[in-house]
Structure 1
Amino acid sequence: MSIAILAGMTSIFMWPGYNGTKAKSAAPSESSRRLFQFWYEVKVKNLPPDSKLVRAWLPLPKSNRHQTVSDLKVVSVHPFTIYEEEEYGNKILRIEAKDSVPESITVEVSFTVNRRTFSALDESIAPREEFTKVALQRFLSPDRLIPITGQIEDLADKVVAKEMNSLQKGKAIYEYISGNMTYDKSGPGWGQGDAVYACNSLLGNCTDFHSLFIGMARAVGVPARFVMGFPLPSGKNKGDVLGYHCWAEFYVEGMGWIPVDASEASKHPELREFYFGNLDPNRVELTIGRDIQLDPDQTIAPQNFFIYPVVVVNHALYPDVQTLFHFANN
C-alpha cells in the first residue's frame, strides 16, 4: 500500500493604500474562521476482466490566500504521482493500475484546511497580486462553453458603461447576474457551465451563473476565472458533502483577484453585497479554470471543469465511479 503525506503552506501579502469601497454588509452570522478535515474517497467499481490499464485523475487542494492546506494524505494500493498541470497550476493526483487489475479500485485522500472569511475590498487584509499581461491573457480568452462575442458581448455592453473601471465593471455584471438569474436545476441544459444557456434562460446552478459572469467580464476586457471546490454546511461540525460549489474571480490591477459568488447571492439576497469581493470560510477550493488538460501526455481530452474523478479504462472514459465526500471540524 502506498501512503503519501504532504504539507502545504501559503504566503499572505499585505496591500496598503487601497481607497476603494469596503464591503458594507455583514458576513453570514457564524465564525470568521473554520478549521476542518476533509475526506475525498473514490471507488472504481465493476472493472471488466479485460482491463489492462486503469488511470484515474483526482483534484488536490493547494494553499493560497484563502486557505492553508496541511496534512495531505493519499492512500492507494496502486502507484500514483502528484503534479501540477501547466496552464492553471492545478495540483493533480494520478493513479495507475496495470496488467493484473482487480475488480475494483479504491483511493482515499484526506487533508486539513484552515480558512477565514476573506475580503478583497478590505485594505487591511487584501493581498497584492500582480500578473503580467501575458499571464492574464488566458483569462481574457474564450472557453469552449464561455464565448466572449455574440450575445454574451451584446449583453455585457448593455450592462457595463464604457467609462467604468474594472472594479465597477465587475460590480455591474455581478449585480445583473445575481439580481436576474434564478438558481434552478430543473430541465435540460443546467450544470454544464454554459454561458449561452445561462444568458438565454437566466436559470442554472453555480456553474451557469459564473460562466455567464466570466464571459461578460472577458467581453468587456476584464480578466476573469472559474474556481471550483466543495461547500461545507454552516452550523454543522461534521457530515457528508453532497456536491460541488463554484464561484468566480475577476482581476483588478493593483488589487489582484476579486472573488464573487453570484449564485449564493441570488439564493440569499440579504447577502448580495457581501458576496461581491468576499468569501465565507464554509468552502474548500480545489481547482481553477476550464477546458483543463489533466494529462501532460494528452491521452484524454481537456475537461470542461475538474472536481470529480476522471477515470479511463483501456483508453476509454469509464463511468462506474462512486464518490464520497465528508468533513469534520477540528
Structure 2
Amino acid sequence: MRLRVLSSLLLLFFPACQLAAQATSNAQKFSPPTRTFRFTYNFTVKDIPSGAKRVRVWAPVPQTDQHQTARVLSVKAPVKTRMTQEPEYGNRMMYAEIQNSAPGKAEFTLQYEVTRWEYSRGNYAQLERTDQKPTVVFASMHRLIAPDSLIPTDGKIKALAVEVTGSQSGTVAKAKAAYDYLFTNMRYDKTGSGWGRGDAVWACDAKRGNCTDFHSPFIGMLRVDGIPARFDIGFPLPENKDKGDIAGYHCWAEFYARKTGWIPVDISEAWKAKQKEDYFFGSVDANRVQLSTGRDIALSPKQDGPALNYFVYPYVEVDGKPYYKLDKQFSFEEVKSSE
C-alpha cells in the first residue's frame, strides 16, 4: 500500500501534458490507445476433502490507477466474500472463507468492466534527454531495490549487472542496456521445465522462458545498480479479437527514473513481435489488464503458507495448507461505445 500511494503522489510532479508530449512518437503506433471490456475471472475449488474445517480463498482484483479503471460488476460465490488490500504493495483481492465445508466443489465468478489505456513515457531517445545517474532512493521505495526470493542482487545477477550495465552511467541508459541484453540473448520458449517461476538465475543460465523469466533478471540487474524496479502481472487481450478466452497470464516490468517517474518495459512481447522492440522500451500497449504488482506477496488476511511468488491466479488453503486442485477460466468481451 505504501508503495502504491507513493507512486500516485509522484504523478503530481509529472503533469499529464508532459506525459502526452513524451509519448507522441509512440502513441497509437501499433494498437488502439484504449480498450474497454468486460473481464470474467472464473475458478472452481475441486475435490474439497471430507472433514475440511476451513477453506480459505483469495483472488486478485484489478484496481483503478492512472493506467486503467476497473469496476466490479458482479461476484458469484457460495459464501459471503469481502474485498481486502495487502499493505506492502497495495494489491486488492477478494477473500472468502468456508467453514466446515461439505466435500465437493466451490465455484467463484468475478466480473469486471475495465478500461485500459496505453502507458507510454516516450521512446529511448526522448527518455535519454533527461537521463541522470541513479540517485538516493526514497526510503519508502527501498523494498524495490531489495532482493526477492527468486530475484537476488548478489552472485550471478550482480556479476551480470556489472557486465551489462556497468559501462553506463544514467538510469535510463542502464535500463536500456539490460533490456537490449535480454532481448538479444533470451528466447521466448516454454518447452521443458523450469520456466514460468521468474527465477532470475535460472533464466540467465537457460536463456529462455516466458514473461516472468525475461523480466526477473531485468529487475535484478537494475536493483543491483540501486534503481527501483517492480514486477507487474495480469492478463493479455488478443490484439485483433473483441471477445474470447484468455489462456494465461502476462507480466511486464517498470523502473524508476528521478526526472521521469515510472517507465514501463515489456521485453517478452518485444521478442515475440520484433518490430515492436523500440516501442516496448518506455511503453506498454492497452492490450492487457493488470491484477497485481510485486513478488513474495503476503495476502490479506495473511495466508498460513509461504509468501506468493506472484499473485495472478487464485490461491487456496485447506486447513492451513496450500491447495492446488483448481479449475480456472478467464475471458473478455469488448464493450462497444454504444453500450
TM-score normalised by L of structure 1: 0.89
Q: Do the aligned partners of 1:182 and 1:204 also contact (CA within 8 Å) in 2?
A: yes
Could you tell me how far apart the structure 2 residues matched to 1:31 and 1:261 are? 17
Instruction: Give the Cα separation in 1 of the matches to 2:137 and 2:225.
Output: 18
Match of residue 192 from structure 1 = 197
Query: CA deviation digits over 1:103-134, x for unaligned, max 9?
Result: 110111010111122212289xxxxxxx9711
Query: What does residue 319 of structure 1 align with?
Result: 324
Equivalent residue for 2:55? 54
- The answer for the alignment partner of 1:104 in structure 2 is 105
Task: Tell me how far apart the structure 2 counterparts of residues 230 and 33 of structure 1 sit (CA, whole Å).
Answer: 15
Moved more, 150-159 or 276-285: 150-159
Q: Would the aligned equivalents of 1:28 and 1:280 in 2 still touch at CA under 8 Å?
A: no
1:45 aligned counterpart, secondary structure: strand
Aligned residue number for residue 42 of structure 1: 43
Q: 1:164 to 1:72 in 2, by over 3 A?
A: farther
Structure 1 residue 32 corresponds to structure 2 residue 33: yes
* Structure 2 equivalent of residue 146 of structure 1: 151
CA RMSD for the aligned pairs? 2.4
Deviates more, 1:26-35 or 1:253-262: 26-35
Deviation at 1:47, TM superposition (A): 1.2
Residue in structure 2 matching 1:305, options 290, 307, 310: 310
When residues 56 and 28 of structure 1 are mapped into structure 2, their CA distance, relative to the original with a 3 A threshold, is farther
Aligned length: 314
Aligned equivalents of 1:249, 1:259: Cα separation in 2: 4
Counterpart pick for 2:291 among 286, 295, 315: 286
Whole-Å Cα distance in 2 between the matches of residues 121 and 101 of structure 1? 54
Q: Separation in 2 of the partners of 1:63 and 1:17? A: 22
The equivalent of 1:127 in structure 2 is none
Checking the alignment, whether the CA contact within 8 Å between 1:34 and 1:115 is kept in structure 2 is: yes
- Deviations, residues 10-36 of structure 1 (Å, cap 9, x unaligned): 997525668x97675675533221110
- Runs of at least 5 residues in structure 1 that lack an aligned partner in the other structure: 1-9, 124-130
Aligned: 1:116 with 2:117: yes
| Rounded Cα–Cα distance in structure 2 between residues aligned with 1:305 and 1:106 | 22
1:322/1:220 CA distance change after superposition, 3 Å: same
Instruction: Show the counterpart of 2:176.
Output: 171
Does residue 1:92 correspond to 2:107, yes or no? no
Residue 224 of structure 1 aligns with which residue? 229
Report the Cα offset of residue 254 of structure 1. Answer: 2.8
CA distance in 1, matches of 2:155, 2:179: 20
Which secondary structure state, in structure 2, belongs to the residue aligned with residue 270 of structure 1? helix
Structure 1 residues 207 and 176: CA distance shift in structure 2, 3 A:
same
The yes-or-no answer on 1:207 pairing with 2:212 is yes
Match of 1:158 in 2: 163
Instruction: Give the letter for the 2:159 counterpart.
Output: D
- Measure, in 2, the Cα distance between the counterparts of 1:21 and 1:200: 36
After superposition, give the CA deviation of every residue in 1:191-212 in whole Å (9 maximum; x if it has no partner): 1100001111211100000001
Letter in 2 for 1:52: K
Q: Secondary structure at the match of 1:46?
A: strand
Match of 1:257 among 262, 266, 291: 262
Asked if 1:74 is matched to 2:79, the reply is: no
**Which shifted more, 105-114 or 64-73?**
64-73
Give 5+ residue unaligned stretches, structure 2: 1-7, 127-135
Q: 1:27 touches 1:274 (CA, 8 Å); kept in 2?
A: no
Distance in 2, matches of 1:104 and 1:301, equals 24
Identity of aligned residues (%): 42
Normalised to the residue count of structure 2, the TM-score between the two structures is 0.87
**Cα offset for 1:139?**
0.5
